[in-house]
Structure 1
């Protein structure tokens, strides 16, 4: 059994509370496994910093229900404690009914999706509540009490009773102002017989700085150890551990490895794929990297900010998302790295670039101050930062056959960016639409040479054929280099 830390809405403090719980548990035990519901990259970085283990993303929209179950079971195996951080409010998901059935049918190449039974209608698909139902694990509800007292009972009662399949086992009261305030909250909750598992007083100095895409990542925060020590002390003194610990101990179960594509016997080789990994590029799903390694790739991490050459023997390039706009000047001044990437791509090296990686391959990046910084220049467009946030799940249908997709192939991805390209691709990779009924369809994505560049973040657990095709292209490139 494990717990999901849920909120009654966004901004209740569930991330800080989750980090406090993880920090305390990590001091108690060697193996603590964390999970994050949804497509987030940044919160899992903080989880992993504390636990020294990859944080698993539980996202049935980007992957599938079966994949979520399999990953959860596998990653909980052999650990002392496990904890899941929810997303937004407990029931905030997307309404998927017939669309979800079509989605699974359209993903027939995903072995783990074949034959999967999807609810005829799910109003909160992909929500924290959805994950609690499919994994059959209890929920602790975090309530921001800063602007309420007696009404806390109505909130707790409503969330506990709305769905009888959700087991809300207690509440954590956050931002409690005083002893008098706490007494009012306790009095209101007493008739519900719902345990108060933690009380957090208002904290003005326990905050993580944020910016345009959320929290500032761990690589840019030099005093995290002291911060997490303080969170661990807070957790030790503010939570009811006698009641919490039994919930946090995973139950034994038989779980296999998440399904991954398999290569024909004899094709497994150690092919080097260079992964851009530094302060500018750090948005990667751990499963994506694991799947590439299981296919036979050797992952070589390098820094477009600091390194002047690609790792020796590189046969493929993978640029994840991140914050190239924040470090655009440094990226632009590293001319040797820019030239090395450009020449490798011109020679035909397979290259997969998501969001921030796409921006890096453009002619230039125009930052928030309006300053232009030259980039790799392989794509004839400019990435310009703006105030508008593009955010949401996207259904993507391949508009033509490309490096990684066959025409008509359907996948699901996630967009999250504040930049826009000044020129669209004349032959976009995808036709995108959101999950809403009658949502507009628009073209997106670039392919030139052997580059797949797109704003769309993909989880290879939901589209393993992309990982397999990318690996096969790197294998072919490596063989051609050997012949030369």
Structure 2
């Protein structure tokens, strides 16, 4: 069947509950696949840490409803159990049309996949009012199905008695009761949770969550809800380009660059790429004979000193981009290609220097979905193509591109005066703050690889030796 773990609002403990459920299932050696609603990068890292299997994002704005069904079905066929973590509150999300389920909401995913919902309620400041919340959420949209509730942050036996008494007339299953946990905490910073690679004590925390799950959940009722249905694989229909194989793509992945959708990496490999992971932080030289760069997002501002001091790698990246190696950079990757990063302490750190601008840390978070129209032909996208992406960053640029790649507006907005120019493009270089999921646009990785296959890897090796 599979269920979606949703919440009444952000901060209710949805991620902690989800990790606890996954940890218990993994501890008992069940084969489980996890999913995350929305454009999140960091929560899926925690899922993967627990399950040892890539988490998959389900986002109808970045992809499409058919792609979500295809992705979900494909990745649940070889697993016994599956679990989807929602985003924000159940009905929260972006909607271009009011009076409908928000198009980016957990509720909309539940409707697309026709799955029941387990609602997590933060009970820390509730007693009798919990019934009004539960009643409202479970009856607001009659098309949604609810499997039950998980009561989180319950303070005492007396508190639990009041909650159960209030909920009893609603006849809703209580599938879990989680007491207030002062010693279990997932650390956060300016863009959400601290990523897994920076948490040396994370395994200890997962052990705590495993024990918590054993005591707090009604597994007799929950376990059947997580069971997957075998309907047969839905294959992704991809037309492989004619390439001189293999095409070696250097993917920057370390503590500074970790924001990648697994589906994007999978697409590159299915289309003929050989992915070579390397670290701009720690490696002293680039991988050999590469034909393309992929710089994802992350936290280069927090590792700016170390990135800046890795002179040999910065020079090698600059040299290769200067002679035309195809390069795709998003957000943190864009920042790395700038002349400098100016960190939170207003310190200046020289970077690769390909882009004639500096990245500095602003005071406001830029967050949201965007519709982007391509203003000029690029090696990735033809002019006038419309795509949808997501931005999530605190940094800004001292100088915007004089010939921007995109004309963008907030998703769902129709006011032309709200459009902005964004993104940099040079020969074989695509750099932007816009995060893209390629699941519904396989032509993007296809064109990328076609261009990469034409780059002379022997020339690449010669430049690296200099």
TM superposition score category, shorter chain reference:
over 0.9
- Structure 2 unaligned runs (5+)? none
- The 8 Å contact of residues 4 and 110 in structure 2, kept in 1 or not, is answered as yes
Give 2:55's aligned residue.
55
How many residue pairs are counted as aligned between the two chains? 460
Q: Which runs of 4+ in 1 moved over 4 A?
A: 479-482
1:230 to 200, 208, 213: 208
Give 1:182's aligned residue.
160
Give 2:143's aligned residue.
165
Is 1:17 matched with 2:21? no
Give 2:37's aligned residue.
37
- The 8 Å contact of residues 273 and 315 in structure 1, kept in 2 or not, is answered as yes
Q: How far off is 1:253 after superposition?
A: 1.1
- The 8 Å contact of residues 37 and 85 in structure 2, kept in 1 or not, is answered as yes
Give 1:138's aligned residue.
116
Q: How far off is 1:121 after superposition?
A: 7.7
- The 8 Å contact of residues 133 and 165 in structure 1, kept in 2 or not, is answered as yes
- The 8 Å contact of residues 396 and 432 in structure 1, kept in 2 or not, is answered as yes
CA distance in 2, matches of 1:399, 1:480: 33
Q: How far off is 1:254 after superposition?
A: 2.4
User: Which sits farther off after the overlay, 354-363 or 267-276?
Assistant: 267-276
Is 1:278 matched with 2:254? yes
CA distance in 1, matches of 2:393, 2:365: 6
Give 1:6's aligned residue.
6
Give 2:328's aligned residue.
352
Q: Matched residue of 1:477: which SS? A: coil
Q: Matched residue of 2:88: which SS? A: strand
Give a deviation string over 1:362-417, Cα, whole Å, max 9, x none. 00000000000000000000000011100000000001111211110000000000
Give 1:211's aligned residue.
189
- Structure 1 unaligned runs (5+)? 98-119
RMSD: 1.6
Q: Matched residue of 2:291: which SS? A: strand
Give 2:72's aligned residue.
72
Is 1:363 matched with 2:335? no
1:269 to 222, 245, 255: 245
- The 8 Å contact of residues 413 and 458 in structure 1, kept in 2 or not, is answered as yes
CA distance in 1, matches of 2:237, 2:260: 19
CA distance in 2, matches of 1:432, 1:87: 24
CA distance in 2, matches of 1:159, 1:193: 14
- The 8 Å contact of residues 74 and 234 in structure 2, kept in 1 or not, is answered as yes
Is 1:419 matched with 2:419? no
CA distance in 1, matches of 2:92, 2:203: 32
Give a deviation string over 1:250-274, Cα, whole Å, max 9, x none. 011123123434324xx36111000
CA distance in 1, matches of 2:31, 2:313: 38
Give a deviation string over 1:340-371, Cα, whole Å, max 9, x none. 10001011100000000000000000000000
CA distance in 2, matches of 1:132, 1:262: 33
Q: How far off is 1:203 after superposition?
A: 0.9
Is 1:341 matched with 2:317? yes
Q: Matched residue of 1:155: which SS? A: helix
Q: 1:30 to 1:187 in 2, by over 3 A?
A: closer
CA distance in 2, matches of 1:421, 1:260: 37
Matches within 5 A, 1:450-461: 450-461=428-439
TM-score (norm 2): 0.96
Q: 1:259 to 1:90 in 2, by over 3 A?
A: farther
Q: How far off is 1:28 after superposition?
A: 1.2
1:301 to 274, 277, 284: 277
CA distance in 1, matches of 2:438, 2:218: 39
Matches within 5 A, 1:324-403: 324-403=300-379
Is 1:467 matched with 2:433? no
- The 8 Å contact of residues 94 and 123 in structure 1, kept in 2 or not, is answered as no
Q: Matched residue of 2:87: which SS? A: strand
Is 1:191 matched with 2:169? yes
CA distance in 2, matches of 1:370, 1:259: 48
